[in-house]
Amino acid sequence: MPDLDLLPLQAITVSGWLVPLGCHVCEGDRLLELSAGEVLVDLPAPTAGKLIQKSVAEGEVVRANQLLGFIQAEG
């Protein structure tokens, strides 16, 4: 997860995955929605490929540099 430059004590929670497990994504596609208080942030896919792992669940609190999931490159 990238550093969102929010207040250090602000909890960042996974609001929901926007892509089902096993689906193909293109770089920049909306992948995951996070919330921090009243702020909602969509995280884009950092690369193209197939989403093969979701390491965090909806409602889970996450931190900067935490692995959120894994996209397997195709080709």
Please indicate, yes or no, if residue 2 is contained in any of the structural domains: no
Please indicate, yes or no, if residue 74 is contained in any of the structural domains: no
Q: What is the pLDDT of residue 3?
A: 52
The whole domain housing 49 covers: 14-63
Task: Please give the chain's pLDDT, 75 residues, in tens.
Answer: 555 555 556 789 999 999 999 999 999 999 999 998 888 999 999 999 999 999 999 999 998 889 999 999 986
Domain count for the chain: 1
Please indicate, yes or no, if residue 22 is contained in any of the structural domains: yes
Q: What is the pLDDT of residue 2?
A: 53
Please indicate, yes or no, if residue 6 is contained in any of the structural domains: no
Please indicate, yes or no, if residue 71 is contained in any of the structural domains: no
What is the CATH classification number for the domain harbouring 19? 2.40.50.100
CA–CA gap between residue 54 and residue 45 (Å, rounded): 13
CB within 8 Å of 36: residues ≥ 6 apart: 4, 6, 10, 11, 12, 13
The one-character DSSP state at 18 is S
Please indicate, yes or no, if residue 72 is contained in any of the structural domains: no
Please indicate, yes or no, if residue 70 is contained in any of the structural domains: no
